[in-house]
Amino acid sequence: MVVSIQDLIDEPILIVALISTVVGAFLIVALFNMLIGRIEKRGDLEKGTLVHMRRFFQIIIYTTAGFVILHILKVDITGMVAGLGVGALVIGFGVKDIIENWVSGVMIMWGKTYAIGDVIRVGDLTGTVTDIALRTTKLKTYDRNEIIIPNSVLMQEKIINLTSGTRESVISVTFAIDYTADSGKAKSIIENILKNHKSVIFNLKRKREIRFVFRNKEWTNEIEALFWINDPPQEEFIKSNITELIQKEFRNEGILPPIPALMRKEYLPEQNTTDERQSE
C-alpha cells in the first residue's frame, strides 16, 4: 500500500528517510564532482572523458535515489510497470531514440572516437567539438555557428577526426594560374610564404613538409599545396589569409590567373604574336 500524507505525519521517520535520501544523493554527486575537478586540474585524464564520467555518475546516483524514494513510499514498481500495459510499449517507442543516443554516447566515450577540442568532419560538416553529452555532440563551425548532433546520427555517419587529440592538422589550398605562367616560380612563391607563416608548421625532422600536386587543364595549371597548421579550429581563416598573401605576390610577379581565349589578345599580346607566327 502506498504511503499517504497522513502516514508521513504519523511516522516522521519516513520523512527523515526521504530527506536523507535526497540530501545524500546531492552530497555524493557534489563529492564526486570535487574529485573530478581535482583530476581535471592535474590533467590525468582528458576533459571529454571527465565530462562523461561526471554525467554518467550523476545519472546512476539520481536514478538509484529515485528507486529508494519509491521504496520508502512503498510504491510497487513491478506492479506499476505491469499495469502500464500498452502504455509502457508506447513509452518504450518514445524513448527508443533517447536510448540509442545514450548508447552511442557511451561508445563514443569509451571508443575515444573524438574528444572535446578535436576538429572533426561529418559528411559536409566540419567543426570543433565543444561538448560531448550522452545524447548529443556539439560542434562549432568556422562561421561560429553551434551545431547540435544526436550521437546516434553521428554513429551512422563517416567521422573523420582531423586532429586526433593534437593541435595540428593537414590542410590544402589550390591556386589556378594561366598555362603560360611560370609554374616553378609560382610554387616557389607559395612555398616561401608558407614557410614564413606563423600558423604553418614546417619541420622536416617531424615530417611536417610542404608538398605540391600539379594538374594541367585547358588554359589552366592548378597547383595544390598541402601543409600542416598549428591551429585547426581556425583553418578557414588561415587558408583565407594565406590565399590573400599568395595572390598579392602573384600580382607583383606578373603571374596571371587563367585567361579565357577571347581575352588573351588583351592580356597576353606577346603570346598572341607568338601563336600567329607559329601558324604562319
pTM above 0.85, yes or no: no
For the cut 70, the answer to whether the pLDDT of residue 164 exceeds it is no
Task: Among 29-38, 146-155, 181-190, name the most confident range.
Answer: 181-190
Query: Contacts from 22-28 at CB under 8 Å and sequence distance 24+?
Result: 22/65, 22/69, 24/65, 25/61, 25/62, 25/64, 25/65, 28/61
Residue numbers of the domain that contains 181: 169-264
**Are 14 and 62 in a shared domain?**
yes
Residue 19 lies in a domain: yes
Of 163, 164, 136, nearest in space to 55 by CA: 136
Q: What is the Cα–Cα distance from 239 to 264, expressed in whole angstroms?
A: 30
When pLDDT is averaged across residues 198-217 and rounded to a whole number, the result is 88
When pLDDT is averaged across residues 123-150 and rounded to a whole number, the result is 81
Residue with cell 563514443: 108
For the cut 50, the answer to whether the pLDDT of residue 156 exceeds it is yes
Residue 274 lies in a domain: no
Write the CA distances from 84 to 59, 67, 77, 78, 81, integer angstroms.
24, 18, 11, 10, 5
Q: What is the CATH number of the domain that holds 132?
A: 2.30.30.60
Q: What is the structure's pLDDT at 199?
A: 92
Per the structure, the count of domains in the chain is 3
Residue 92 lies in a domain: no
Q: What is the CATH number of the domain that holds 197?
A: 3.30.70.100
pLDDT, one tens digit per residue, over 173-186 is: 999 998 888 999 99
Q: What is the structure's pLDDT at 277?
A: 42
pLDDT tier for residue 30 given thresholds of 50, 70 and 90: confident
For the cut 60, the answer to whether the pLDDT of residue 192 exceeds it is yes
The amino acid that residue 37 corresponds to is G
Residue 222 lies in a domain: yes
How many residues belong to the chain?
280
pLDDT tier for residue 92 given thresholds of 50, 70 and 90: low
Domain ends where: 133, 161, 189? Answer: 161
Q: What is the Cα–Cα distance from 236 to 212, expressed in whole angstroms?
A: 19
